[in-house]
Structure formats: structure tokens, C-alpha cells
A and B are shown apart, each in its own frame.
Chain A
Amino acid sequence: MPPKTIEVKIAKKSAPKKSGASFAISKERIKKPVLKPIAKIRTFDEIIRDKTARAKVKRNITQELVKMKKPGIDSRTYSSPYAYIYADYLKGVKFEKIMRGVENRLTDLGISGRIHRLSQFKNLEEIIEEDVKRGVSTVVVVGDDAMVKEAINITADLNVALGIIPVGSGEDSIAALLGVPEGVAACDTLSQRIVDYLDIGKINNKIFLSRLSIFGQRTPIVCDGKYEIFSPGGDIVIYNLDLENKEKLIKKINVKDGRFEVLVKPKETLGMKLGFGKAKSNYSLFFAKEIIMKSTAVFSIYVDGKKNFYKEVEIKILPKKLKVIVGKNRLI
């Protein structure tokens, strides 16, 4: 059998007449660009239709979730009874490490809660009131004395326990008095939850924690509506709590006795200044629940160190009104 011959037709490309070798190579190497399929352009109506459909699905899901929830529980209540309010100055990098440590410790102890950071547009009063509405029973202030005082003004009228985590500023005399250590260690004090009730003073409608000072008395003070004390030109300090813990004239200023300690220092006469006065005690001490001062002229009273002017003043003690979390090493 003769071998079959296969005819292979090779189509010869006709070479261009005026082309060189170099041109032929470059043409082979050039790849043709791959064109991507053009996305389908949606019309405006289609877009709107999609959006409405998505919204509809979302709405259905939320409705089903609401149905699944128990009817007794308000959807707005927080899961944790704790709320933490950070001071404005804690924003910086300086306190980042401490704050992270505090947050981690709180999570470890199982007492973490909602965190608020104070700013120009966030009011402490609004935050606390909103939190209380949502079932928060413990408000923890993370900051200094000034913020704690502000928080006391608000929490005194609400049935909320106040906790303190002193961080940063160094002005933490209230925390020190309550036996709360600074920084992360305060978290352990919070978790131990020793609750104490303290008295609070009220001057007209303003609340104060520590003391009222009257320098150079001109208006007599009426205590408990029964007797009147007058020491012309003398200084009067009405104590509820001695924050500095420096008053040594009184053995112990008790913040839980339901009374003010009224300390009257008479005006120093020349004889007293020269040391001729033989008086055993140069100060007077009274105890009162209610104090009234009335005058035709304006007189000044320093409320927790801030000067205020009055013509008529009613000072009352609110016994055991403030609920605070204290530490074991408290000084009160």
C-alpha cells in the first residue's frame, strides 16, 4: 500500500512589500487590549426600586425582632446597670493607657457599662438623667473633684448610687476621704460595692457637700428656729464634711449625723492678738439642722469655696441623701 500523502495547505501570508524584519516582530509582540464588558447602566427608577425594597426588608426584620422580644422589657433599657462618665480632659493620649487599663479591669470584674465622654456639647445632667431613665442604677464618675461635685448635685435627687474613679488631675480629696484609690485600683473598690449614705447641705435650692463660710459676720444666724447666734465681725463656718480634713478645732466632723457643725470664731481683739485673752477656747461650736439668715443688706457666703451673695438664706441638711460607693480605707 502506497503511503497516503497528506496535503497540508499552508496559507502563506503575503508579506508586505515595503516592510522590514523589525516591523514584523513588533507587531507580533503587541497584544491586543482586552475589553471588559460594560456594566449595565441602571436607570434612576431601578435604583429607587432597589432602595425601597431593601428598606422594606429591613422594616420587616425589625418588626419581627420586636415581636420576638418579651413584652415586659423596654427596648430602650441598657443591659448593664453601670454607666461611666469620663471627664473632658481624659481625651488626650496622656490618659489613653490608664483608661484602657481601667476599661479592661472593669470588664474583668464584670461591671462594665455604657461609657459617656463629656464634651462641650454633652451636659452631665442630661447624660445622668437619660441613663437613669434607661435603668442605670450606678453612675460612675471618672475624673476629678469638680466633676464629682457636679455629679453629686444631680444624683442627690435621683435614687442612684454614685461611684468615683479618680484619674489624672490630682484633685481627688473627695475620693481620698471616701477611701477610693486612684486609677485602676478604684475598679476593685467599685466591685466590692460598699454603699454608704451621706448627708448633704442645701442652701436655698443649691446643694453643697462640704461647707459654707461667712467672714466678718454682720447678720445673726438663727439655728433650728429656736436660738440666734451673733458674733459681730467674727467668722462662721458651717460644716457638713471637712474635705481637707484639716479642721482640728472640732474633734470629728460627722457627715452622717444629720446635723451641721457650726464653728464660730470671734473677731480677734487687740488683747487677744497680744495674748492677754485667757479664754480656754476661742471658738464656739453648735449643732443645727436648719439655719436661717435674713438681712436688709446683701451679705456674702462662700459655698464650697465659691462666693455667693444673698439677702435671705435658708440652709437645710438633707440627712443620708447621697448614696455613694466607698472603700475600706474611708476616713468618714
Chain B
Amino acid sequence: MAYGYNLMFKRNTEEEKNFSVENSQESEDDLRDTIIAQGVRVEGDFNSKGNVIIEGAVMGSVKTNNNLHVGERAKISASITAKDAFVAGEIQGNIKVREKLELSPTSKVYGDIEAKTLIINAGAILNGKCSMPDPNAPAGIKEKKSKKEETPEDEIV
């Protein structure tokens, strides 16, 4: 059934396939939570396979294959990539989330957002572009659209 469903809606993109393979290879140890507490500053490219909880300051980039939790007192100046994200603090940078992004009332986001599911609670501040990929759109059309966007003719028009 699941296979048929995927075929019908073309959800099994290559990215998802790779992601599932990665997940199967990950051990329990790799998926342990990384915590950046208040009073700690991290600078650079931070990559993790497990969940990431940020309460402190981060500058650079944050990438995780799992969930990201940004606390109320967190201050992040970085581009973020995650599977699911819950934001309650301040982020200056682009956010790319594969599944669900939730902005809490205390959150402040200054950057572009890309997410499949987006929840913005009342009181949240969002300054930036917001894009959400259409799950029902066929992959071919997506590619064509993106190619068209790149052509110089469109820019002139």
C-alpha cells in the first residue's frame, strides 16, 4: 500500500531515499541528543545526526538529520537544516526544514524559510521569504519551473 501511495503521489524522491538509507545505517549512539546550553557559544559548522537542543549562542551553520529545538534564550546567527524544528528563540539566517517547522510566540526569525509544514503561532516575528514545496506536484514540473526561473528571459520580462 505504502509503495503504491508513494508511486501515486511521487513522494519517493531521491532525497528521501537517501535519507532513509542514512537512517538505517545510523546506530543508537549516533542519534544521541546534542545540547548547547545557555552561556555556551559555538562557532563554525555544526553537524549532527541526532536531535539538537540549542539554548545558547551559535554562529555559522547548523545541520541535523533529526529534530532541532531552539530555546527561548537562544541566539543563532546561522543557516539551519533539519528534519523537524521548533523555534522559540532568535534566528538570523535561512531555515530549511524537511518536514515540520513551528514558530512559537516568542520566536524571532530574520531569514528565509523552507518547510513542508509550517506552523506560526500568534506573536511570532518572521521577516523573510517563505516557500513550501507542493507534495502533490510532479517532480518533472518542479524541475522545469526551477529551470525557467534560472533563464535570463524571465528576468527581463
Contact = CB atoms under 8 A, between A and B. Distances in A.
A234 interface: yes
A30 B144 CA distance: 140
B35 A227 contact: no
Interface of B: 27, 29, 32-48, 53, 55-56, 60, 71, 73
A226 B46 contact: yes
A257 B39 CA distance: 28
B35 A230 contact: no
Given A279-B37, A282-B37, A284-B35, A257 B29 contact: yes
21 contacts: A226-B45, A226-B46, A227-B44, A228-B42, A230-B40, A230-B42, A231-B39, A234-B39, A257-B27, A257-B29, A259-B29, A279-B71, A279-B73, A280-B55, A282-B37, A282-B38, A284-B36, A284-B56, A285-B34, A286-B34, A287-B48
A279 B55 contact: yes
Contacts of A228: 42-44
Contacts of B41: 229-231
B37 A266 contact: yes
A233 to B, nearest CB: 9
Given A227-B46, A227-B60, A280 B40 contact: no
Interface of A: 222, 226-231, 234, 251, 254, 257, 259, 264, 266-267, 269, 277, 279-287
A277 B43 CA distance: 24
Contacts, number: 68
Given A227-B60, A266-B38, 9 more contacts: A227-B43, A227-B46, A234-B39, A234-B40, A251-B32, A254-B29, A281-B53, A282-B37, A283-B37
B141 to A, nearest CB: 37
Contacts of A269: 39
A264 B34 CA distance: 11
Contacts of B53: 281
B46 A277 contact: no
A243 to B, nearest CB: 19
A284 B57 CA distance: 12
A283 to B, nearest CB: 6
9 closest A-B pairs (Cβ-Cβ)? A227-B44, A266-B39, A257-B29, A284-B37, A279-B38, A231-B40, A285-B35, A228-B43, A284-B40
